[in-house]
Chain A
């Protein structure tokens, strides 16, 4: 099996699946081009995450990650929840296959977006709930360096301005300076 027992457990019995109708914060990441989409809904009480639900479109890893993040976040203060990293989630799941570490491991990002959305709404109660749903088929993936958005045909990350190439092996974006692909570890890089 390519997945750890913990991943398979969370995949088979995902915790906290669903949505929250009057959520205090909603966060969405990913799109079907990259393969995975996650939506997180949170209820906040006394600066703590009182309730958390998610919906995920994606592979086994993506579903397990979402479930694990929801468990890790529940009951935590917003600051504690913001400190959860994608790496923490992978570690909590006893690891993920190397090629899934980037694309499927977006759970913490989605949670952070939900918290940011909650904070924004607190400052501006008029603000719409959640991010606008991302357009389907938008060629967008994240920069492996700053996690900012990178469009498929774009050569430079819009956030950190790293220049991009694509890995010969796994075809994911990487920096022109890279000798090794940060996603799959292959050494051959397209020139």
Chain B
């Protein structure tokens, strides 16, 4: 059976060059980077070289990059670490209503220890208005977190403008850029943020390897206590092969991300156009233009996402959904609800996110099988109007 992968946003395949770079660090070089002997120094220098490459990708200084195990850890580290370091100044955190679970739940967990949270709403496209961030900031506010790009609806947020507001108000600014870095140009210098999260599995690097950028001088308490790894900010023996993989992926992305974007953007536009032209009652979610180049997302009305995903999977197509039934929490996506969609519509969410190896044939195949899937499920749905009664 034909297999088509449209789930970039969940994870990308690891590039062969990335894997090749990693392999020696799984067998040939095994010294602990903290050790003084030459075995340790070999791996220590590999880690520093990877740090330099990640720093270059986001225009940071090398010593501003800290390796972690996932985008989720980077977000936890930034939110909890920065908030706790600032807690004597104030206890309010401002975040957008469309943050990733790892930001949302980090903030919620801080709420239990006395912090308060202010959610900034978004418009119908999922966009945050920087002026709303300004209005939300109070003298108690110590930290603002607004994601750079939304994995569920693809919208790219005006983070530079948000960071400017934060600077004017003297508040720290973090951005979860996990879905953005490696796919669009990201410069921490032009964004002006104090902290930024990224993960390798969003740009053809290995899962389990990620990083947090922390601007020089930004106070952030460690969330994993132990040894002096990562300048004492993040303890635990380093995931050497993973870090090397992240570094290599960053090096490739820096050269190639423009090429990838030019390749996937027209494919994405074809999916959006054909959904609009060939399907009834399917709405685009997120911003029509200002969105990730590889990301298209929709709500298919009258049916539910998981049922569509299962049917697509049976045809060999991998996609994603933010419906209640696909999430372990069995709740409709907070992102879609924040954008003003009703529960029933939000349940029909589907995300097709492209990898650079996708082709127009893949899209033709999608549109060959998709109409039938939708129709079959709609015929079963009590919400579908004007159907033929048996």
A residues engaging B (CB < 8 A)?
A: 8, 11-12, 14, 17-21, 28, 31-39, 53, 55-63, 99-100, 103-104, 136-137, 169-172, 184
Contact = CB atoms under 8 A, between A and B. Distances in A.
A57 B330 CA distance: 15
Closest 4 CB pairs between A and B?
A59-B325, A32-B344, A59-B306, A35-B324
Interface in B363-390: 379-383, 389-390
A174 B372 CA distance: 40
Contacts of A137: 342-344
A59 B307 contact: yes
B304 A171 contact: no
A104 B383 contact: no
Contacts, number: 96
Interface in B299-320: 302-307, 310, 314
Interface of B: 302-307, 310, 314, 323-326, 328-332, 342-344, 347, 379-383, 389-390
A56 B381 contact: yes
Given A53-B390, A137-B343, A170-B330, A17 B306 contact: no
Contacts of B331: 171
Question: Secondary structure of the B side of the interface?
Answer: loop
Contacts of A20: 390
B310 A11 contact: yes
A60 B381 contact: no
B323 to A, nearest CB: 7
Contacts of A99: 328, 330
28 contacts: A11-B310, A19-B390, A31-B343, A32-B332, A32-B342, A32-B343, A32-B344, A32-B383, A35-B304, A35-B330, A35-B347, A36-B325, A55-B380, A57-B344, A57-B347, A59-B325, A60-B306, A60-B307, A60-B310, A63-B307, A63-B380, A100-B325, A136-B343, A137-B342, A170-B328, A170-B329, A171-B330, A171-B331
Contact of A37 (B307, B310, B314, B383): B383
A35 B380 contact: no
Nearest to B303: A57
Contact of A58 (B314, B325, B343, B389): B325
A33 B304 CA distance: 12
Given A32-B343, A33-B343, A137-B343, A12 B307 contact: no
Nearest to A139: B343
B389 A57 contact: no
B307 A11 contact: yes
Contacts of A19: 389-390
B104 to A, nearest CB: 12
Nearest to A60: B310
B378 to A, nearest CB: 10
B304 A59 contact: yes
Nearest to A138: B343
Contacts of B323: 35, 59
